[in-house]
Structure 1
Amino acid sequence: MCLAALLTAACAGNSPDSDGTPTTADASRPEGTTMIDTTTPHGPATSNDATTSRSADSGRAAEHPYAGMWVTTDGYIRQELLPDGRYDEARGDRQSAYTGRYWITGERIEYRDDTGFSADGEFDGDILHHAGYVFYREGSPAHRRAMEAGE
Structure 2
Amino acid sequence: MGRKNQTHPYVGVWVTADGYIRHELLPNGRYDEARGKRKSAYQGRYEVTGEHIEYWDDTGFTADGDFINGVLHHAGMVLYRER
Q: TM over 0.5: same fold?
A: yes
**Candidates 5, 24, 34, aligned match of 1:80:** 24
| Map 1:81-120 → 2, pairs under 5 A | 81-120=25-64
- Root mean square deviation of aligned Cα: 1.6
The one of the two structures with greater contact order (alpha-carbon pairs below 8 A, sep at least 6) is: 2
The number of equivalent residue pairs is 83
Rg larger in structure: 1
Larger relative strand fraction: 2
Q: For the residues of structure 1 that align with 2:19 and 2:7, how far apart are their CA atoms? A: 24
Q: Do the aligned partners of residues 62 and 121 (structure 1) sit closer, same or farther apart at CA in structure 2, a change above 3 Å counting? A: closer
Structure 2: unaligned runs, 5 residues or longer: none
TM-score normalized with structure 1 length: 0.52
Deviation of the 1:106 alpha carbon: 0.7
More helix by share: 1
TM-score, normalised via structure 2 length = 0.92
Inter-partner Cα distance in structure 1 for 2:77 and 2:52: 15
Structure 1 residues without counterparts, runs of 5 or longer: 1-25, 27-41, 46-60, 140-151
Counterpart in 2 of 1:138?
A: 82
The share of aligned pairs that are identical, in percent, is 66
Runs of 4+ in 1 over 3 A off after TM superposition: none
